[in-house]
Amino acid sequence: MVAAGTVLAAVGGWRYARASAPVSGPIVLISIDALRADRLPVYGYTSTATPAFDALGADGVVFERFYSHVPQSLPAHAAMFSSRLPFETGVRDNAGFKVKDSERTLAEVLSDRDYATGAIVSSYALRRGTGIAQGFAFFDDMLETGNGTADETSLGAIARDGEASERIAETWLQSIATPRAFLFLHLTSAHVSDSGAAHPDQREPYDAEVERADEVVGRLVKYLKGHQLYDQSTIIVTSAYGEGLGDHAEATHGLLVYGDVMRVPLIVKQAAGEGAGRRVTDLAQQIDLMPTILDLARAPAPDNVRGRSLTPLLGGARRFPARLAYSESLLGHYHFGLAPVFAITDGRHHLIRTNGHELYDLEKDPQERVNLAEDQPELAAELNAALDRMLTSKPIDKPTNPSQDELQRLEALGYATFSDFQTPSGDGSLAEPREWAPVVNAYREAVDHDVRREWPAALRIFRSLTREHPSSSLFWNRLAQVAERAERFDVAIEARARVITLNPESPEALVAAAFTGLQARRLDDAVRHAKQALAIADSSGPVAASAFEVLTRVALARHDGVDARQQAALASLANPARPLRSFVEARILLDLRRYEDALAAAEEGISDLKRAGGQAIAELNLLAAEALLRLERPLEAEALFLDELRAFPLNVRARTELAVLYHNMDRVEEADRALSDLIRIVPTPEAFAQAARTWTAFGNPRQAAALREQGRRLAIPSRPETPAVHE
């Protein structure tokens, strides 16, 4: 049976051609990240109320055994849209990968068949730059709040509320004025907060998130009914992956591939109520979605699709040829140096391979508690052989290096920077991901505290992680980053020194230490580390450019314009996409009170940066705004202050000056809100002190005194705690 399934799974382009007419109404694909099948009433769960999912299940076909391929959003959706497995698309992780232009996607095929195509995504993991937008004429990934400022995490916009995304979907459907449409609506509502990630008792909060997702889906269904589109619509509800909730030690998702994360819902509501109330027990998987949708639309599937159309099952076929479903997780390997995880299931048995292998009987043991690998060696060997055949000549793809901004935002979603250390087990192999689940849970909890600006809590966890794993550059780097944000520069400097000790030939480690020295106003240390980095880095490229930028900013801090211009010129040679010379000129000219010239220099830099597509330069927009204020052009200055804060949400000076601008324009409520935002978004001693000074200037000494006291309390370091992380 396994061998036959392997052969069928490997046949590219297999699909079932429907004899009936194509669907006449919209095709709506709704994907909800982290939605477990077994936490929905339509799958037998009793502790949540999900009327929208229930109604769609009653009107449609419910698939009992539908599997994800990767417990991460980008690779899972890449598989959905291409009908190809991760080792075929080459998209193996949320970070460092993108869908290739050569992939023929579902949206592209439908677009060629004159479908209007629109996508609204709610997570930075599916931003346009990942290539997932291929084929969509309309693609909305703008993750901004209603007031036009970036989502107020310490790391910028990373997600959007599902209701906001659904409203955009309604607007798009209204705008196209045709029922021949394909809508992809992506939601993140089902994620449980990582703030309790180390504790598997987050079930009630998770259920509440599931109910929120149901409400959003219900809104869209209500819209379709209100516009007489529901009956003729094909609505598909699914998920990229589930959520661990501690069932196998993992609190969230991404690391392991047990059924709690890999078995996800699939509900297909067809036009005219066809198949209403039917339940399908045959094995199905994400790569089947593309050929199924194309079959319903009577559109030809590309020759290289691996999945197969589920339309026979939608039509009531009682049996489907045997097959295998593949899944993998490389998050632990890429980000923590752990063993890669591969898995295969025939629907009855589930084999998971890391260093060794686990085998579970899903009928007798659906919770996957009893490993049968030793008791049933022949079956384990058979499934292992099938997995080997799938993976033959399929190396583990190497990720590219994302930008710092990309890495920071992906970290805020729970994904780490790439690991530069290995974690060998006792026998010399890489460590088992399941054994490391508590460590990863703790890491994600710390990151979540960081994103929520709960920096003392994040520092405690990262300190514990560095004590437990002192050879981990990853943990030391993250400790340094959080310490910088919390203005604990003593901790940050020590952490950067440990990273350099672990990686003495790394120019990146030296540049990071140089920036830490700059923030801590230890300018001699900043210069020393920057020059050490330049001695071993390539003369051109981002590392050298960053080192020269440190030297530039040190020169400006020392009011040495000549040296600042020289270092900025060298930075621009190393990275032409970063117009640092314009920044330096604007700073020098502003100090000389040549405001028109300073504005011209800053605007030239802003224009050059946009044209080159380079990463934002801290305080470039701020300098232009300050020049505009001096030139009595406050409305233009306001726009540039907001631009600065979108790129750098933690900029205390920009937030303070924006508050002053509002106060001077008699926009009292906005001035108060700007100062409240300052201490909420940047809860540091410096921010509280600056807010206190500003409230004093505004004539509110009582508020200023309260803030000074809060700032003094923040300046007192809390006692380090040593919770056990990995036992």
Q: pLDDT tens digit string along 301-312?
A: 999 999 999 999
- 143-156: per-residue pLDDT in tens? 864 333 433 444 45
Q: How far from chain centre, in Å, is Cα 377?
A: 39
Distance CA 450, CA 509 (A): 21
For residue 17, the model assigns a pLDDT of 40
DSSP letter (8 states) at residue 418: P
- The pLDDT tens digits of the residues spanning 158-171 come to 888 999 999 999 99
Phi first, then psi, for residue 379 (nearest 5°) are: -65, -40
- Token duo for residue 295: 């079959």
CATH topology identical between 433-652 and 653-727: yes
Model confidence at 264, pLDDT cuts 50, 70, 90, reads: very high
Architecture of domain 653-727: Alpha Horseshoe (1.25)
Supply the CATH classification number for the domain 16-311.
Answer: 3.40.720.10
Task: Tell me the pLDDT tens digit for each residue of 691-707.
Answer: 999 999 999 998 889 88
CATH code of 341-391, in short, is 3.30.1120.10
Asked whether the beta carbons of 542 and 615 are under 8 A apart, the reply is: no
pLDDT for 52 equals 98
Mean pLDDT of 628-639: 97
Identify the CA nearest to 87 among candidates 379, 342, 426, 420: 342
Alpha-carbon distance of 609 to 612, in angstroms, equals 5
The pLDDT confidence band at residue 20, using thresholds 50, 70 and 90, is: low
Q: Own/partner pairs for 358-366, CB < 8 Å, 24+ apart?
A: 359/383, 362/259, 366/259
Fold (CATH) for 433-652: 1.25.40
| DSSP-assigned letters across all residues of 387-425 | HHHHHTT---PPPP---HHHHHHHHHTT-PPPP-S--B-
Query: Which DSSP state fits 43?
Result: G
pLDDT bracket for residue 415 (50, 70, 90): low
Residue 630 pLDDT more than 70?
yes
Task: pLDDT band for 721, please (50, 70, 90 cuts).
Answer: very low
Phi first, then psi: what are they for 428, rounded to 5°?
Answer: 95, -10
Could you tell me the two tokens for 319? Answer: 């049996």
CB 361 within 8 A of CB 372: yes
What's the DSSP call for residue 564? Answer: H
CB atoms within 10 A of CB 11: 11
Give 2's pLDDT tier (boundaries 50, 70, 90): very low
Give the residue among 119, 179, 118, 127 at the shortest CA–CA distance from 151. Answer: 127
pLDDT band of residue 368 (cuts 50, 70, 90) is very high
**Regarding beta strands 325-329 and 357-361, do their DSSP bridges make them parallel or antiparallel, or are they unpaired?**
unpaired
What is the per-residue pLDDT for 720?
A: 45
Q: pLDDT digits over 522-531, tens only?
A: 999 999 999 9
Sketch the domain layout of the chain as residue ranges.
Answer: 16-311, 341-391, 433-652, 653-727
Write out the two tokens for 313: 């099952």
Average pLDDT on 362-368 reads 97
Dist CA 550 CA 538 (whole Å): 16
